[in-house]
Chain A
Amino acid sequence: MVRALCATCKVERALIKRPKNYQKLCKVCFIKIFEDEVHHTITSSGLFRRGERIAIGASGGKDSTVLASLLKTLNDRHDYGLNLVLLSIDEGIKGYRDDSLDTVKRNALQYDMPLKIVGYDELYGWTMDQVVATIGKRGNCTYCGVFRRQALDRGAKMLGIQHVVTGHNADDVAETVMMNLLRGDLPRLSRGTSIVTGSQTSEVKRSKPLKYAYEKEIVLYAHHKKLDYFSTECLYSPEAFRGSARSLIKNLEKVRPSAILDIVRSGEDMARLVPGNTTDACHCTGADGPAEEEMTGCGSQNGRSSGSEMARMEAQLVQTGDPKNSGANEVEVYSSGSVVLPMRQSKGKRSAPKKAVAKQTLGKCERCGYMSSQAICKACMLLEDLNKNRPHIEI
């Protein structure tokens, strides 16, 4: 069987079918195109400035390893003039973090970058294993996500760095868009797709240079570049909405590979449709509450989950007496067959201007001084709950 030639160089044999558009490429051309596309994303959105110190949020997984390798390559090739540092968070999950941190340590040597590791235990007094032992496996991703976001920012601050890049890819962003639609979460929908988050007023900004890169291509890139990454998934399952959105997206990708990017595009456009959101989605807004991580998911691949979060929201929707939902508040229908309409209906979709979605105003947490839209930041709230339940150990 004669193999087709690479669609780009037309010399080498095509070995790779690009997951994104089924283009047939040779290894060298694939790597080149993948790098060029990320370079385009970086330059077109003006992500970095010369001399900037950048902390790469490194978990040892494929996304952040590819990001670190890629940024090193592009920084050298295009002379970005960036000062790159690896920043790792030790959540304290035995059998997952220990090994992946070893990977990050090797990466630091391979890419000749300084490495800083910040532990949940030193930041919060709790490791994730201890959290799970206390609250069970249900909903622990919320804790992990909230803690990690702060941890990365705090770690960056310790290093005096104002810009953290993370390995979130197109699949993650698409997943977030679908998840926010399912949850009916307009504030998050209005900012979840931004390439840069964290407000201008906040001390640390975040960006996702791999926002348009397909997860499958990241895996291919890591494979063909023979990158050293850690491929075991997080032991704890993802939150149900995310898990559900994830499996939906995988099915959509099978039907039409472009669907992932199309969802990202839809998400960006829909962000501008959220009432009260006048800012362009590509730039950060002041409303970006820091404690509310728009990417709470971790790198876990499977959509397996208990479904409890969805069930809880379902129960809540029924209970909160949303008039359209709960049977108790329905339009009363009597046996005579006559229908008595409610006296006043204020929920009509009249042409009146839509109410702006409640925005958060940025302040500081009373306890830890970390940026928060609430008096007490999410992490401190979660910690308070945890500490209440912590058994008192007397020596």
Chain B
Amino acid sequence: MTAETTAPGAAAVNAIEVRGLRKAFGDLEVLRGIDFSVARGEVVCVIGPSGSGKSTLLRCVNLLEEPSAGRVTVAGTEVTDPDVDIDRVRRRIGMVFQAFNLFPHLSALENLTIAQRRVLGRDRAEAERIARANLERVGLSDKEAAYPAQLSGGQQQRVAIARALSMEPELMLFDEPTSALDPELVGDVLAVMRGLAQDGMTMLVVTHEMSFAREVADRVVFMDGGVIVEEGTPEQVVGAPQHERTRTFLARVLDPAAAEVGEVAGGGAAGRRVDR
């Protein structure tokens, strides 16, 4: 945070800047013109029904999905520029997946060191020092020798967060990080994410955890049908939604009885876990 922040105009550069983003899979248009941005140090939660394009939006930020049109800029680097070295940009963007995606053939510690060593060129001692510090940060110091199969879902997801942190990213993307977890394991993962937010990490979180969004997010974005329907502070969007679609979605997610009814339309994951 030295050269970059002191560079002229750097303070004005958003962590993520998305303009006119469109993404189609064949005939299916998943994103239909998205404009939005995330400021440095901001925590933005993206909510919305399944199939609304939230995950695709997230995956377009680090180019796991190639946008069909539009521009995505991450910390001043346009990732949609055909000449960009995307591997170099991705080092600066941590990503946490719904299915954890830990490397099953490597121990927890090796999961955290492999990219540090092979991508950043850190030597083993330094990589392990950083890895251990991050395992401690997520409360799993005692699990460094464990393989992913020996860990619970919640522990795996915390290792996955530590793995992303070990690259010392400028921002973190979370793609429904708690949706694959048993309800009693969700809390530990959210606690780690809350800690990250407090430490000033820039975070873009696709989630169904309304309590987390309300408590931690600086801004909530509601998406439906491939467009942003409304965005604002959690109080505005979750507390007093302006749009009918937002109200319908929130009613389904927040009210268990309605969630049962709305299961088909609102998507299974949205209705599965209700958290006030």
Binding between chains A and B:
no
A residues at B contact (CB < 8 Å): none
B residues at A contact (CB < 8 Å): none
